[in-house]
Amino acid sequence: MAFEFKLRRLVEFHETDSAGVVHFSNFFRYCEITEAAFLRSLGLTLHRADHAWVWPRIDAQCSFLKPARFGDELEIHLLVVRKSEKTIEYMYAIHVLGAAAATLVAQARIVVACASWSESAQSLKARPLPPELNELVEEAPQDVLGSSLRRVGRVG
Would you say residue 55 has pLDDT above 60?
A: yes
pLDDT above 70 covers a percentage of the chain that reads: 92
Instruction: Using pLDDT thresholds of 50, 70 and 90, give the confidence band for residue 26.
Output: very high
**Which DSSP string corresponds to 71-132?**
TPEEEEEEEEEEE-SSEEEEEEEEEEE-SS-EEEEEEEEEEEE-EEEETTTTEEEE-PPPHH
pLDDT tens per residue, range 62-73: 999 999 999 999
The CATH class, in words, for 4-152 is alpha beta
Give the max Cα distance, the chain. Answer: 57
Q: Are 108 and 94 in contact (CB under 8 A)?
A: yes
Residue 17 a catalytic site member:
yes
Active-site residue, from 17, 50, 59, 143: 17
pTM to 2 decimals? Answer: 0.89
The contacts of residue 24 (CB under 8 Å, 6+ apart) are 62, 64
First CA to last CA distance, the chain: 27
Kindly indicate the confidence band of residue 145, based on its pLDDT and cuts at 50, 70 and 90. confident
Q: Write down the domain spans for the chain.
A: 4-152
